[in-house]
């Protein structure tokens, strides 16, 4: 079955087609604000048998459901059939993308595992257990790296907008370099501290993988991260779709 995979997040939406036996994804991206009926008409013209939607933007999810309803469709939620259990008091509050990440990391490396997803927010999702007996346990949500740096630029008179990159030095020799050092080194410190706190509560060594827009930059300075997997969320969307579509 040829699937249209959709990862609809707050800032960007990713699309990819998946066919049996295919290795990797040709990922297309669009700003989520541009996800309007005219754009969905372009999706309708693609060659696919069914679609799988992971959305954290209800308004856009409704547009996608309506626009793609002519073919089989599965929208991921806590009610989806998953390869792992959910050990969470209010499962309806779990974002579809977080469930996709948990399913994908379990399929890729097993459990226990932690996924750090660098997006508009940075999320940590924890899969506990071992082998086939694995459960989504919960996680952590913090501001995304871009949100923090944009806030500085927008709310201070003299601090410029900047591109995120590896700092040349911890001691910035310009305003931009000082901001970059604060953002990158400071963010790595936050990620490391959160991971350590999670590991202490799990009382078990857990593999850590990263995904999302800033994953490669931040993980480059974090030996705690075993691997950066750019298409992890799409992989989870595919796996859930295959389990739930006829």
Catalytic residue among 7, 97, 214, 231: 97
Give the distance from CA 152 to its chain's centroid.
24
Averaged pLDDT, 17-35 = 91
In sequence order, the 6+-apart residues with CB closer than 8 A to the CB of 34 are none
pLDDT digits (tens, 9 = 90+) for 105-162: 999 999 999 999 998 889 999 999 977 789 999 999 998 887 776 656 565 655 567 6
Which residue from 74, 68, 139 is spatially nearest to 102, judged by alpha carbons? 139
- 183 vs 220 pLDDT, higher one: 220
Model pLDDT for residues 86-115, shown as the tens digit of each residue: 999 999 999 999 999 999 999 999 999 999
* Residue-level pLDDT at 27: 92
Q: Mean pLDDT, to the nearest integer, of 167-189?
A: 90
State residue 156's pLDDT score. Answer: 65
Whether 117 is a known active-site residue: answer no
CA 218 to chain CA centroid, nearest Å: 15
| Per-residue pLDDT reduced to its tens digit, 44-99 | 999 999 999 999 999 999 999 999 999 999 999 999 999 999 999 999 999 999 99
pLDDT higher than 80, residue 18: yes
Tens digit of each residue's pLDDT (9 = 90 or more) over 185-214: 999 999 999 999 999 998 778 999 999 989
pTM of the model: 0.91
Q: What is the DSSP letter of 97?
A: H
């Amino acid at each position: 079955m040829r699937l249209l995979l959709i990862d609809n997040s707050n800032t960007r939406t990713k699309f990819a087609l998946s066919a049996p036996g295919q290795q990797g994804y040709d990922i297309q991206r669009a700003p989520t604000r541009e996800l309007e009926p005219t754009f969905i008409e372009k999706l309708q013209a693609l060659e696919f048998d069914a679609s799988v939607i992971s959305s954290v933007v209800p308004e856009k999810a409704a547009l996608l459901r309506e626009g793609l309803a002519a073919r089989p469709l599965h929208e991921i939620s806590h009610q989806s059939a998953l390869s792992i259990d959910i050990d969470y008091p209010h499962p309806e509050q779990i974002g579809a993308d977080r469930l996709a990440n948990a399913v994908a990391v379990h399929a890729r490396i097993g459990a226990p595992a932690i996924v750090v997803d660098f997006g508009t927010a940075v999320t940590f999702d924890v899969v506990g257990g071992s082998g086939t007996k694995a459960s989504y346990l919960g996680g952590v949500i913090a501001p995304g790296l871009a949100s923090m740096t944009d806030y500085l630029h927008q709310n201070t008179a003299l601090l410029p907008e900047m591109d995120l990159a590896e700092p040349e030095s911890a001691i910035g020799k310009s305003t931009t370099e000082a901001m970059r050092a604060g953002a990158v080194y400071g963010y790595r410190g936050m990620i490391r501290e959160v991971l350590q706190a999670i590991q202490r509560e799990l009382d078990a060594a857990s593999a850590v993988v990263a995904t999302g827009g800033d994953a490669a930059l931040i993980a480059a300075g974090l030996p705690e991260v075993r691997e950066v997997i750019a298409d992890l969320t799409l992989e989870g969307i595919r796996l859930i779709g295959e389990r739930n579509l006829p």
